[in-house]
C-alpha cells in the first residue's frame, strides 16, 4: 500500500568515540525510506544539491525506493555533523548547514497525492505542513521532529500536531516540548496537543507507544556492538510505517506489531556507518531477528 515520506537527504559527518567519517549518506527521509522499503515500496520527496552523487540516487532506487520526488536544486546538499559520547546516548550536533533546504518547497508528485500512509520525517515544521496540505485524504500520518525545531518553530509544530495521527519523539525532545521530566506524563501531555498516538523512543532503553486504545512498551533489541546510531530513529519509524502500510491497517494490534518491526529494523541500522548495515539486510534476516525479539520479551 502506498507510503510517502517527505524529509531530508543529507551528507553527514559523524564522530564517535572511536572514529570519524565525512560525507556519509544521511538524512531523515533517506534512512526512513530504505528501512520502509524492506516492507513496501515507499516514495521519497526531498531536495538535494548539485553535489549529490548519482550512485546515491542509484542506491535508493536499487533498494526499492521511488525517487521521482527527489528534486535536485542549485547549491549544496544539506549537511549535518554530530558527535556521540562513549555511552552512545548523548549526541551533540556540531554543525547544521541547511544549504538547499533553506528554500525547499516540497512538491508531491501528482500520483502520490492519494497516498494512504504518510511520514513527515524530521524537517522544518513549515515544510512538513506544506507537504501535508498537498495530500488528499491520508489514512494515517505520522510526523517526527527534533530539538532544533521545538526550540525555533514551536508554533508551527503545535499546528502540525493538531493535524497528524501520530508523532514520534525521543525522550529529550518529549521533555523539551512539554517541560515534563516523567516520560509517561510527557507522553500524556503530547497527546493533549492533538495526535492520537505518541511514539516515545528511549535509545538503548527501547520505545513505547501510547494512545487512548494502545499502550505498548518494548526494550531495544540487544546488539553486542554499536558502530553508529545515526538514523536509528528514522529507521525505527521506517520499519513501523512500512509494516502499517504493508498491512494496510492501523488498528492497535497492527500498531503493536509495527513497534516490533521498528525495533528490529533500527537494531540493524546501528551496526554499521550510515545506511550500510541496513542496506545489506534481507527480509529473512529481519524476520529472524523479529522472532528472536519475540522470544526475548515473552515469558
Ligand atoms: P536520527 O539519528 O534518527 O535522529 O537521524 C539522523 C539524521 O537526521 C542524519 O542523517 C541527519 O542528516 C538528519 N538531520 C539532522 N539534523 C536535521 C534537521 N535539523 N532536520 C532534518 N534532518 C536532520
What DSSP string describes 160-221? HHTT-SEEEEEHHHHHHHH--SSHHHHHHHHHTTS-SEEEEE-GGG-EEEEESS-EEEEPPP
Q: pLDDT value at position 88?
A: 86
Helix/strand/coil (H, E, C) string of 11-75?
EEEEECCCCEEEEEEECHHHHHHHHHCCCCCEEEEEEECCCCCHHHHHHHHHCCCEEEEEEECCC
Distance 213 CA to ligand 1 centre (A): 30
Q: pLDDT value at position 203?
A: 85
> What residue's CA is closest to ligand 1, atom 13?
27
Residue 113: CA count within 13 A, CB half-sphere: 10
Ligand 1 atom index nearest CA of 26:
10
271-282 per-residue burial string, b: 16 or more CB within 10 A, e: under 16: bbbbbebbbebe
d(CA 212, CA 96): 37
3-state secondary structure of 119: strand
Which CATH number characterizes residue 40's domain? 3.40.1190.20
Strands laid side by side in the 20-26 sheet: 20-26, 10-15, 78-84, 91-97
Distance 295 CA to ligand 1 centre (A): 32
d(CA 95, CA 98): 10
Residue found by looking up cell 525517487 in the block? 67
Q: How many independent structural domains does the chain possess? A: 1
CA nearest to 4, candidates 99, 127, 142 = 142
Kindly give, in sequence order, each residue whose CB lies less than 8 Å from that of residue 152, ignoring residues fewer than 6 positions away. none
Distance 63 CA to ligand 1 centre (A): 20
Tell me if 67 sits within 8 A of 61, measured CB to CB: yes
Walk along the chain (299 residues) and give the pLDDT tens digit of each residue.
Answer: 599 999 999 999 999 999 999 999 999 999 999 999 999 999 999 999 999 999 999 999 999 999 999 999 999 999 999 999 998 878 899 999 999 999 999 999 999 999 999 999 999 999 999 999 999 999 999 999 999 999 999 999 999 999 999 999 999 999 999 999 999 999 999 999 999 999 999 988 999 999 999 999 999 999 999 999 999 999 999 999 999 999 999 999 999 999 999 999 999 999 999 999 999 999 999 999 999 999 999 99
Q: pLDDT value at position 204?
A: 85
> What residue's CA is closest to ligand 1, atom 12?
27
Distance 145 CA to ligand 1 centre (A): 9
Residues touching ligand 1 (Cβ under 6 Å) are: 8, 10, 12, 26-28, 80, 96, 122-123, 146, 148, 230-234
Q: pLDDT value at position 239?
A: 98
Q: What is the pTM of this model?
A: 0.96
d(CA 121, CA 144): 5
What the block records as the C-alpha cell of 284 is 529473512
Q: pLDDT value at position 87?
A: 86
What the block records as the C-alpha cell of 275 is 545506511
Distance 240 CA to ligand 1 centre (A): 18
Distance 54 CA to ligand 1 centre (A): 21
Q: pLDDT value at position 1?
A: 57
Torsions phi, psi of 235, nearest 5?
Answer: -70, -40
Q: pLDDT value at position 90?
A: 85
> What residue's CA is closest to ligand 1, atom 15?
80
Mutate to test the pocket of ligand 1, among 6, 7, 9, 10 (most ligand atoms within 8 A of CB): 10
Distance 231 CA to ligand 1 centre (A): 7
Distance 43 CA to ligand 1 centre (A): 19
Mutate to test the pocket of ligand 1, among 9, 14, 28, 104 (most ligand atoms within 8 A of CB): 28
Tell me if 241 sits within 8 A of 117, measured CB to CB: yes
Torsions phi, psi of 283, nearest 5?
Answer: -60, -35
Mutate to test the pocket of ligand 1, among 102, 119, 121, 122 (most ligand atoms within 8 A of CB): 122
State which residues form the domain around 225: 3-297
Amino acid at each position: 500500500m502506498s507510503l510517502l515520506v517527505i524529509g531530508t537527504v543529507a551528507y553527514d559527518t559523524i564522530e564517535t568515540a572511536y572514529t570519524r567519517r565525512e560525507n556519509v549518506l544521511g538524512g531523515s527521509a533517506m534512512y526512513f525510506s530504505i528501512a520502509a522499503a524492506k516492507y513496501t515500496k515507499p516514495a521519497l520527496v526531498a531536495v538535494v544539491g548539485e553535489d549529490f552523487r548519482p550512485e546515491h540516487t542509484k542506491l535508493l532506487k536499487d533498494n526499492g525506493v521511488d525517487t521521482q520526488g527527489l528534486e535536485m536544486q542549485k547549491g549544496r546538499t544539506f549537511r549535518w555533523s554530530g558527535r556521540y559520547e562513549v555511552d552512545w546516548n548523548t549526541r551533540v550536533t556540531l554543525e547544521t548547514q541547511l544549504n538547499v533546504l533553506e528554500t525547499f518547497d516540497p512538491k508531491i508528485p501528482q500520483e502520490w497525492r492519494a497516498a494512504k500512509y504518510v511520514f513527515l520525517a524530521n524537517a522544518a515544521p513549515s515544510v512538513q505542513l506544506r507537504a501535508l496540505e498537498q495530500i488528499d485524504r491520508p489514512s494515517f500520518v505520522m510526523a517526527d521532529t527534533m530539538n532544533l525545531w521545538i526550540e525555533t518553530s514551536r508554533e508551527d509544530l503545535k499546528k502540525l500536531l493538531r493535524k497528524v495521527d501520530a508523532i514520534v519523539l525521543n525522550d529529550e525532545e518529549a521533555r523539551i516540548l512539554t517541560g515534563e521530566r516523567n516520560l509517561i506524563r510527557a507522553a500524556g501531555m503530547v497527546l493533549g496537543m492533538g495526535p492520537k498516538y505518541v511514539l516515545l523512543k528511549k535509545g538503548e532503553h527501547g520505545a513505547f507507544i501510547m494512545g487512548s486504545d494502545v499502550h505498548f512498551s518494548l526494550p531495544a533489541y540487544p546488539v553486542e556492538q554499536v558502530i553508529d546510531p545515526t538514523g536509528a530513529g528514522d529507521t525505527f519509524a521506517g520499519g513501523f510505517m512500512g509494516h502499517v502500510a504493508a498491512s494496510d491497517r492501523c488498528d492497535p494490534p497492527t500498531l503493536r506489531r509495527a513497534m516490533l518491526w521498528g525495533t528490529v529494523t533500527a537494531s540493524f541500522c546501528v551496526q554499521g556507518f550510515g545506511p550500510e548495515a541496513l542496506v545489506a539486510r534481507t527480509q529473512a534476516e529481519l524476520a529472524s531477528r523479529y522472532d528472536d525479539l519475540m522470544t526475548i520479551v515473552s515469558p
